[in-house]
Amino acid sequence: MRIAYLDCFSGISGDMFLGALVDAGVPPDLFHKAVAALDVGATLSISRVERAGIAATKVDVMVNGVKDMPREEVLQNTHAAGHSHEGQGGATGAAHSHTHSDGTTHTHEHGQHRGLDEILRIIAGAPISEGAKRMSSRIFVSLGTAESKVHNVAVEQIHFHEVGAADAIVDVVCAAIGAEALAVDRFVCSPLNVGSGTVECAHGVMPVPAPATLELLKGVPMYAGEVKKELVTPTGAAIVRELAASFEPYPLMTVERIGYGAGTRDFAGHANVLRVTVGEAIASSSAASEADGRPLADAEVVVLEANLDDLNPQIIGYMVEQLLAEGALDVFTTPVQMKKSRPGTLLTVLATPGGQQALRNLIFRESSTLGVRSRREKRHVLARRHEMVQTPWGEVRIKVGSMAGSDSQIAPEYEDCRRIAAEHHVPLKIVIQEALRRYSDKENG
Q: Are 379 and 298 in contact (CB under 8 A)?
A: yes
Strand pairing of 192-193 and 222-223? Answer: parallel
| Burial 207-232, CB ≥16 within 10 A → b, else e | ebbbbbbbbbbeebebeebebebbbb
Q: Closest Cα partner for 96 from 81, 85, 104?
A: 85
Measured CA to CA, the distance from residue 231 to residue 226 in angstroms comes to 11
Q: Of the candidates 272, 257, 251, 240, which has an alpha carbon nearest to the alpha carbon of residue 23?
A: 257
Burial of 134 (0-12, 13-18, 19+ CB in 10 A): middle
What is the C-alpha to C-alpha distance for residues 35 and 173, in angstroms, rounded to an integer? 8
Beta strands in 340-440 (DSSP E): 343-351, 373-381, 383-391, 394-403, 406-412
Domain limits, the chain = 2-280, 296-381, 383-444
CATH superfamily of 296-381: Transcriptional regulatory protein pf0864 domain like (3.30.70.1380)
Q: Is the N-terminal amide bond of 209 cis, ω within 30° of 0?
A: yes
Query: pTM value?
Result: 0.61
Superfamily holding 383-444? mk0293 like domain (3.10.20.300)
The answer to whether the beta carbons of residues 212 and 181 sit under 8 Å apart is no
Per-residue pLDDT tens listing for the chain (445 residues)? 789 999 999 999 999 999 999 999 999 999 999 999 998 889 999 999 999 999 999 999 998 877 755 433 333 344 444 333 322 232 223 333 333 333 333 344 444 577 888 899 999 999 999 889 999 999 998 888 888 888 788 777 777 665 568 888 999 999 999 999 998 988 999 999 999 998 776 567 889 998 889 999 988 899 998 899 999 999 999 999 999 988 888 888 899 999 999 999 999 889 999 999 999 887 544 333 443 444 444 567 899 999 998 888 889 999 998 898 888 889 999 999 988 888 999 999 998 877 788 899 999 999 989 999 999 888 777 777 778 899 999 889 888 887 766 777 899 998 889 999 999 999 999 999 999 999 888 877 6
Q: Are 297 and 289 in contact (CB under 8 A)?
A: yes
